[in-house]
Amino acid sequence: MSAQAATAPPRSLTARGWFPALLGLALAIALAFLVLPVVAIFTHSSPSSLISSLNDPASTDALRLSIETSAIAVAVIVLVGTPSAYLLATREFPAKQLVVTLVELPLVLPPAVAGIGLLASFGPGGFLGPALRNAGIPLTLNTAAVVVALIFVAAPFYLRQGQAAFAALDSSWLEASRTLGAGEAKTFARVAVPAATPGLAAGLALAWGRALGEFGATLMFAGSFRGITQTAPLAIYGEFATDFDGALALSAILVAVSGALLLTVKFLVGSGAFGGAAR
Amino acid sequence: MSSRRSLALLAVITALAAIGCGSSGGGKPTLVVSAAASLKDAFDQYAQKFPQASVRASYAGSDELAAQIEQGVKPDLFASANTKFPHQLFQKGLVEKPVIFAGNRLVIAVRASGGKVTSLADLEKPGTTIAMGSPTVPVGTYTRQVLSGLPKADGAKVLANVRSNEPDVAGVIGKVAQGAVDAGFVYITDVDATDGKLKAVELPKSLQPQVAYGVAVVKGAKHPKQARQFINGLLHGAGRKALEAAGFEPPPGAGS
């Protein structure tokens, strides 16, 4: 999607006419609607409640757990997702569209459905539950269960973006690399991944953001216990009932962390720090 | 996508939206009820026998629902698994005077087959896993009230076995039913509602907290008349019968 470069230069905003005005109005409405709730979180929470929230051990435990579990989840997603996305982007095989659809399916699943699905597959009474218990890695109300839930909901974001990034590469580069004697594996590692890095990084940021925000599937599959399974969104939900200001403050911090993550990735990509081809 | 296909897609979406809007009509007013998660079965039954309005109920932890009302959400009716939240909202001028309409009993829920928990004392054993309501939701408050009645060391042993603090009673039931924990503190009506999948281990009488449900009409409700009729039915009519059928106890004597 974002890998497709626009061929025509963007038009100036000052162009006259009713249609540009209509476009501008639509964007203004969309922007106001999308930005207002985020702005309200910050204008509603006082700086002092932000600081006291950072001093609340329950909040910091939740933030720490959120950052740790989402980082592990994203690492697993990148490790398995990058070659998967490369395969989907560069090969044709029977039922490929079906595979792509299945991989993207978790994107449109309601969190409650994801939670039920995880319970039915990996839960203690689920399909693989007894095998996991015998193997000594039960996914029952523990931190590992949180990571599994995060991977499930976040991986499609990376796979989707990664596939688009690899597909947008000029295939003659890859062929040139192979004709010059680099094997398939070397071409993947030395040519394809570096060239696709901006797109992969964008996918990583989206997946990480989604993982940081995960709520429903985590609650159903992993439960809620401070320091073990209570991630920041669960702590916000818990505090909402008794301490609205505390919930607002923790929300503000989570927004700041997620926003900083998106901006950092965009900045690094923009400055060419990944050494990738500029788009 | 061709423009003709996108037009067709737009038409389908518009038609679906129109159907969605149309189905909520039907002449009868819609009574919006915010109710404790533990009331779900009884209220769903009662709603079918309430001719004055079609009932749209939202079930969650009483604390979440009370917080929503404080933030300006206006259901017609708020039914809580305690008397504290309706009373607090009444004092803030957000609801009319609450009435107590039902009682319940806190129990330990275990799976019907092969459980290793047969008494409160079993919950203290190392290796037993427990789910309970978080401290803010009534079922969690009652649970901690029970534990505070135990000798301090015993109460601490139980708390050390807790694996999840759930935002509502439905979460506790789910964790026990799925086998994620050995036992959970819930109301007897929640165990009854599982149709034999779970069974109840009773608490000692001396430790049983008084569980009372309060209900109030929300100030500024769209349909206050129907809301009051709904409450009357809970006290004397079809609602009372639905509550009894679900295993609720009569309202405990005068309280706040």
- In tens, the pLDDT along A227-248 reads 999 999 999 988 877 778 888 8
Same domain, B186 and B202: yes
Per-residue pLDDT reduced to its tens digit, B46-99: 999 999 999 999 998 899 899 999 888 899 999 999 999 999 999 999 999 999
Pick B218 or B114 by higher pLDDT: B218
**Do residues A253 and A54 lie in contact, with contact meaning Cβ atoms separated by under 8 Å?**
yes
**Residue A178 C-alpha, separation from nearest chain B C-alpha, in angstroms:** 36
On whether residue B155 sits in a domain, the answer given is yes
> What CATH number does the domain containing A209 carry?
1.10.3720.10
CB burial class (10 A; 0-12, 13-18, 19+) of residue A90?
Answer: middle
Same domain, B91 and B111: no
Same domain, B202 and B110: yes
**Do residues B144 and B106 lie in contact, with contact meaning Cβ atoms separated by under 8 Å?**
no
The domain in which residue B189 lies consists of 106-207
Which two tokens mark A42? 């910050």
**Do residues A269 and A199 lie in contact, with contact meaning Cβ atoms separated by under 8 Å?**
no
On whether residue B15 sits in a domain, the answer given is no
Please provide the DSSP assignment of B91-115 as one string: HTTSB---EEEEEE-EEEEEESSS-
Q: How far is CA A80 from CA A87, A155, A188, A201, B145, in A?
A: 11, 9, 14, 15, 48
- pLDDT mean over B133-154: 93
pLDDT of the residue at A175? 81
A216 in contact with B, Cβ within 8 Å: no
How far apart, in whole angstroms, are the C-alpha atoms of residue B34 and residue B78? 5
Which two tokens mark A34? 């999308």
Identify which of A229, A225, A230, A250 has the alpha carbon closest to the alpha carbon of residue A240: A250
pLDDT of the residue at A177? 82
pLDDT of the residue at B218? 95
Q: How confident is the model at residue A10 (pLDDT cuts 50, 70, 90)?
A: low
The domain in which residue A74 lies consists of 48-270
Q: Which of B67, B165, B180 sits opposite A241 (nearest CB)?
A: B67
pLDDT exceeding 70 applies to what percent of chain B?
A: 91
At position A108, the amino acid (one-letter code) is V
On whether residue B157 sits in a domain, the answer given is yes
Q: Which of A141, A230, A241 sits opposite B63 (nearest CB)?
A: A241
Identify which of A253, A242, A209, A257 has the alpha carbon closest to the alpha carbon of residue A49: A253
Residue with tokens 């659809």: A101
> What CATH number does the domain containing B156 carry?
3.40.190.10
Q: Using H for helix, E for strand and C for coil, what is the string for B22-63?
A: HCCCCCCCEEEEEEEHHHHHHHHHHHHCCCCCEEEEEEECHH
Same domain, B98 and B111: no
pLDDT of the residue at A46? 78
Same domain, B167 and B192: yes
On whether residue B253 sits in a domain, the answer given is no
At position A41, the amino acid (one-letter code) is I
A129 in contact with B, Cβ within 8 Å: yes
Same domain, B125 and B146: yes
Same domain, B59 and B83: yes
Per-residue pLDDT reduced to its tens digit, B167-190: 989 899 999 998 899 999 999 999
A95 in contact with B, Cβ within 8 Å: no
On whether residue A20 sits in a domain, the answer given is no
pLDDT of the residue at A173? 80
B61 in contact with A, Cβ within 8 Å: yes
pLDDT of the residue at A278? 41
Provide the angle, in degrees to the nearest 10, between the axes of the packed helices A244-270 and A47-55: 90
Q: Which residue of B has its CA nearest to A222?
A: B164
> Residue A230 and residue B165: Cβ atoms within 8 Å?
yes
> Residue B167 and residue A141: Cβ atoms within 8 Å?
no
Same domain, B140 and B202: yes
Same domain, B230 and B174: no
How far apart, in whole angstroms, are the C-alpha atoms of residue B88 and residue B51? 31
A240 in contact with B, Cβ within 8 Å: yes
Q: Which of A124, A225, A241 sits opposite B178 (nearest CB)?
A: A124
Same domain, B98 and B110: no
On whether residue B11 sits in a domain, the answer given is no
Q: How confident is the model at residue B209 (pLDDT cuts 50, 70, 90)?
A: very high
- In this predicted structure, the answer to whether residue B1 has a pLDDT above a threshold of 60 is no
A58 in contact with B, Cβ within 8 Å: no
The alpha-helical segments, DSSP class H, found in chain A are 18-44, 47-55, 57-90, 96-104, 111-122, 129-134, 143-167, 171-179, 184-186, 193-213, 216-222, 232-242, 244-270
Question: Lowest-pLDDT range, A125-139, A166-180, B58-72, B233-247?
Answer: A166-180
On whether residue A244 sits in a domain, the answer given is yes
On whether residue B32 sits in a domain, the answer given is yes
Same domain, B183 and B61: no
On whether residue A36 sits in a domain, the answer given is no
Per-residue pLDDT reduced to its tens digit, B22-51: 444 457 899 999 999 889 999 999 999 999
Q: Which residue of B has its CA nearest to A220?
A: B171
- pLDDT mean over B122-138: 93
A223 in contact with B, Cβ within 8 Å: yes
On whether residue A119 sits in a domain, the answer given is yes
**Residue A262 C-alpha, separation from nearest chain B C-alpha, in angstroms:** 30
pLDDT of the residue at B134? 93
| Phi, then psi, of A233 in degrees rounded to 5 | -60, -35
Pick A152 or A59 by higher pLDDT: A152
Q: Which of B64, B164, B178 sits opposite A125 (nearest CB)?
A: B178
CB burial class (10 A; 0-12, 13-18, 19+) of residue A44?
Answer: middle
> Residue A223 and residue B180: Cβ atoms within 8 Å?
yes
Q: How far is CA B243 from CA A135, B189, B208, B233, in A?
A: 46, 9, 20, 10
**Do residues A203 and A86 lie in contact, with contact meaning Cβ atoms separated by under 8 Å?**
no
Question: How many structural domains are present in chain B?
Answer: 2
Count CA atoms within 13 Å of residue A137 on its CB side.
8
Per-residue pLDDT reduced to its tens digit, A158-183: 999 999 999 999 888 888 887 887 78
On whether residue A39 sits in a domain, the answer given is no
Q: Which of B61, B136, B164 sits opposite A141 (nearest CB)?
A: B164
Residues 140-169 of A with CB under 8 A from B: 140-141
On whether residue A184 sits in a domain, the answer given is yes
Q: How confident is the model at residue A271 (pLDDT cuts 50, 70, 90)?
A: low
Please, what is the average pLDDT of chain B? 89
Same domain, B137 and B110: yes
**Residue A265 C-alpha, separation from nearest chain B C-alpha, in angstroms:** 32
Q: Which of B61, B163, B167 sits opposite A141 (nearest CB)?
A: B163
Question: How many structural domains are present in chain A?
Answer: 1
- In this predicted structure, the answer to whether residue B146 has a pLDDT above a threshold of 90 is yes
Neighbouring-strand partners of residue A234: none
Question: Lowest-pLDDT range, A23-37, A99-113, A254-268, B153-167?
Answer: A254-268
pLDDT of the residue at A270? 67
If you compute the radius of gyration of chain A from its CA atoms, what whole number of angstroms results?
A: 22
pLDDT of the residue at B145? 94
